[in-house]
Structure 1
Amino acid sequence: MASTLPGVLRSAAAVHGARPAVVDGERTLSFQDLLDHVRATAAGYIALGVEPGDRVCIWAPNSADWMIAGLAASYAGATLVPINSRYTGHEAQEIAVRTHARIFVVANGFLGRDQVGELRAAGELPELGAIVTLPPLPGGVAVPAENVVDFGSLAELGVELLGDADARAEAVSADDVADILFTSGTTGRSKGAMSAHRQTIAVSAAWAEIGGVSAEDRYLVVNPFFHSFGYKIGIVVGLLTGATLYPVGIFDVDTTMELIERERITLLPGAPTIFTSLLEAPGRGSRDLSSLRLSITGAAVVPVVLIERMRAAAPEGLGIDHVYTAFGMTEAVVATMCREGDADVLVATTCGRAIPGAEVRIAAVGGNEPLPAGDEGEVLVRGEIVMLGYLDDPAATADAIDEDGWLHTGDIGKVDEAGNLQITDRLKDMYISGGFNVYPAEIEQVLARHEAVADVAVIGVPDDRMGEVGQAYVVRRAGSSVEAADLIAFARERLANYKAPRLVEFVDTLPRNASGKVLKIDLRDTKKTEQQ
């Protein structure tokens, strides 16, 4: 198996050739087509000044062009930096500045927004060589943008540099940084998790092996490419196995069911909310979803009944042959997975066992000595899957990965005698909404800037559809009459939609301990009491 992403792409083209690599609406690209487009785009990047080790940001929804743009970054010897397609211009600009981005690829007009305008309004990008605009999605609106490069023109720009692109691809090392994926920290400042090519490939290969993914599979990728679940467990898995990818830019339950039925989709991994939406869809009874053979879910607490319904035959369920759960994080992608033959209860109540090349250990908080099976402690992970470290943040890296190589996940859990991991709590305040990690500190910093807010704390509360959503407890400034809707709108202007709180409760004071720290456990207990 090739040890770099350019090598994996070349191998896929050599082995699978004319087989379809990606089907995006009416557009189908074979593996050879994909390689040809990637080479041409990489040459275009080089023409725009990209050097080995430079960073290429992509701010766009799933599409065939995202795949080309992302793989071309690696082919040109650069590092890929995916950005959440729902981010505001301020959030995207911050990442571009921190990564010293040389190229910024954007789907201008996505969701009717002027992303290029937002990016420019957010601040300077002193090291940026060019903004490259992708074609809009079907039904999208292309917003005119000045002084940018059209994605379609990159091949012409680099027509004389294809040899240089191939030389760059050859020179990429397995230890070079392949990608930087940002994950919010508990302080509210995002952290960039860096992975080498060998790590990205190893974790993708392990996932594909456990799932039994092959060239016969048709893989509907609803997980966003900006997330490791869509990029590594989507794009890279497709290249490694020869599976055909069907990228979904915007999840719509009816469109998704139509695609599954028409294209006889076999693979559909995703967050629990995806399957809840499918199960509750009014039109499900008229759709044939029987082609689905494998789904892998996680990222939130999974009810046993959901697994049972996913596996149950229609009309009661989705009739999926194999349903697994898994545990991972941006810093380690996938650490544990269930396996074929695991019972519904095991799949729903645990995250399975360590994948090949990974170790999982339960230890006392702050230590790394193993606790006995059944004892609760912090979940530690070690192995090839663990990131290299955080971008430009050696202190945070040292806090996360100890001298023995154990990644301290911040999750509390336990393992049984067979090594199955069960997550029971979180050291961090992070909660999961619709499959995405949300860190309250980031939301609190935004709300604290509102002129009417004197004090604020945010927690995650249960939600039937999203798993969890944010609830903000707010102390108004004296004389203020601000309402919940005002604060929610304020947050939505400055944060991605899934981060903005859905609920706001006004209180006279927040519970704090002697050192002034907000006692969020008290807030959670109050919420539980209210719901009883």
Structure 2
Amino acid sequence: MALRSLSIFDHWVQNAYMAPESPALDWPEGQMDYPQLLKESQAVAAGLQDQGVKYGDRVAVMAQNVPHYFSLLGAASLSGAVLVLINRRLSTEEVRVILDDTAPKVMFYEPEQREAVQDILAQCPSVQTRVALGQSQPGELAYADLLQAGLAYPVQVPANAPYAIIHTAAVQGRPRGAVLSQENLILAGLQLTQAFKLHQEDACLNLLPLYHIMGLNLALAASLGRGRNILLPRFDPVRAAQIIDAQKPSVFGSFPPILSQLMQAIEDQGTDASSLRHVIGLENAENVERWESLTGSTFWTMYGQTETSGLITFAPQSRRPGSAGLPGPLSNIAIQDDNGKHLSIGQTGEITLQGPLVFLGYWNQDEVNAYTFRFGRHHTGDLGRIDQDGHLVFQGRKAEKDLIKTGGENVFPAEVEQVILQHPEICEACVIGVNDPKFGEGIKAVCVRTDSSQVQDRDLIAFVGSRIAGYKKPRWVEFVDQLPKAEGGDIDRAAVRQSYS
């Protein structure tokens, strides 16, 4: 790194020096301390360089919460590679689109994903090296093979260079890759390290996936405090309750239905959850009250996006129920109208941000970036107001950003509608977000069938689920004779929402 920069790899170095015996990672099959994490990060960087990866080349990763994520974070930091973090719940076609967009030179995946990945990579000529996070087969390397490469040669990597690409929900049928720098991620993590007062004795239970910006925020927050990350490959409430009892984590992140399922497991097993100090995420007031009474920990509410490097407002939910928290120390938030005018306290407008947490832009999307960064600020597409005490109150989304957030995942209705309309017995469709007691917000499709159609709701749901990620398929379908139309003949989404939500 340059004289006045600090990288994620630098933090691994510092932690190895200052806390050499402290565990960095715990997972079901093992443990790793900071000197080991540092050594493995160096080895993986050298292995990537042996495979021809140079500064700025992309390296795709599609995996559960496994320890390899952390050595790859260190290796990319050292070598200047750009990590493409792929949601493993996406369909093969959605993954192929992301690979086409970013043209990675190397792809990491788990053996259980091998069959699906082989079909995808047959159409992605940019990928020259396939790396299995486990036993390899002909045509691919094993992760362990990379560790034999020797020493990585140093690369000057600016703190504000592209470091990670995380694709957000598809707009106009195609996902956009949000580009984040190391500075973005380090500063976002440090806000939480400071807010939660994390230190060497603390541990983060990684229930949220590491390819999700909030999962990454919390993992880095624990590491930046020289603490420990406890990895759970995928969320299992019973297993999570057992880990809380045995390994004493102090913080984790939650989206519905994680908290309700975990409370049930804790009560069923009589788990000791007294080590927990903070949980942050989104949840209804009734569940928060029950959780805090059960565990004695504090539930924090929040607001953020991948494009803001994660969380930019947060506070204990009990402090101001209904708000999204207070701006963090690095979050210069303003509420603006469509002309860029700053609005007063209590007025509703678009939430905008300026400062070091604003992402670098969308990958290969110059026109979109110009619009997103108009008036010298990042425009979130979300509506809100600041109350008299400085809390952000989220008030929905602008019409141009018609978005459904279900269980922490973003889904654009237009993407789901495109898939529904591929069904030969559907002639019109409108997808809306509705209240969902399990996931907070759910997906409902209101559809017009062709005259001869006999398609049922379960058939259409299965059809959609076979083409895009399962979390994007509708949970409910309602068939109608006609959809309300606006003056220009387009479907009137607001009227559909009013009538059928």
Aligned length: 496
Report the CA distance between 1:28 and its aligned residue: 0.3
User: Is 2:289 the partner of 1:308?
Assistant: yes
Q: Is the 8 A contact 2:85 2:165 kept in 1?
A: yes
Q: 2:296 aligns with which of 304, 319, 343?
A: 319
SS at match of 2:176: strand
Q: 1:50 aligns with which of 42, 50, 53?
A: 53
Counterparts of 1:95-494 in structure 2, within 5 Å, are 95-109=98-112, 114-120=115-121, 124-135=123-134, 145-156=137-148, 158-159=149-150, 162-164=151-153, 167-168=154-155, 171-234=156-219, 236-281=220-265, 283-284=267-268, 286-298=270-282, 302-312=283-293, 317-320=294-297, 322-339=298-315, 344=318, 346=320, 348-364=321-337, 366-404=338-376, 406-427=377-398, 428-494=401-467
Q: Deviations over 1:351-405 (max 9, x none)?
A: 11111122111122x232221111111111111101111111011111211132x
Q: Give the aligned residue type for 1:409.
A: T
Structure-2 separation of matches of 1:470 and 1:526: 15
Q: Is the 8 A contact 1:335 1:358 kept in 2?
A: no
SS at match of 2:302: strand
Q: Give the aligned residue type for 2:289.
A: E
SS at match of 1:461: strand
Q: Is the 8 A contact 1:335 1:385 kept in 2?
A: no
Q: 1:29 aligns with which of 29, 32, 35?
A: 32
Report the CA distance between 1:433 and its aligned residue: 0.9
Q: Is the 8 A contact 2:301 2:317 kept in 1?
A: no
SS at match of 1:190: coil
Q: State the partner residue of 1:139.
A: none
Gaps of 5+ in 2: none
Q: Deviations over 1:39-91 (max 9, x none)?
A: 11111111111011000110111111222234323322101110001112211
Gaps of 5+ in 1: 136-141
Structure-2 separation of matches of 1:274 and 1:355: 25
SS at match of 2:471: coil
Structure-1 separation of matches of 2:152 and 2:164: 24
Runs of 4+ in structure 1 over 4 Å off: none
Q: Give the aligned residue type for 2:378.
A: L
Q: Deviations over 1:438-465 (max 9, x none)?
A: 1111111112222222111111111111
TM-score by length of 2: 0.94
Structure-1 separation of matches of 2:188 and 2:317: 24
RMSD: 1.9
Q: Give the aligned residue type for 2:295.
A: L
Q: Is the 8 A contact 2:222 2:229 kept in 1?
A: yes
Report the CA distance between 1:117 and its aligned residue: 3.1
C-alpha distance 307-367 of structure 1, shift in aligned 2 (>3 A): farther
C-alpha distance 380-211 of structure 1, shift in aligned 2 (>3 A): same
SS at match of 1:254: helix
Structure-1 separation of matches of 2:226 and 2:46: 25
Shifted more, 84-93 versus 511-520: the winner is: 511-520
Q: Is the 8 A contact 1:58 1:70 kept in 2?
A: no
Q: State the partner residue of 2:80.
A: 77
Structure-2 separation of matches of 1:96 and 1:52: 18
Q: Is the 8 A contact 1:185 1:439 kept in 2?
A: yes
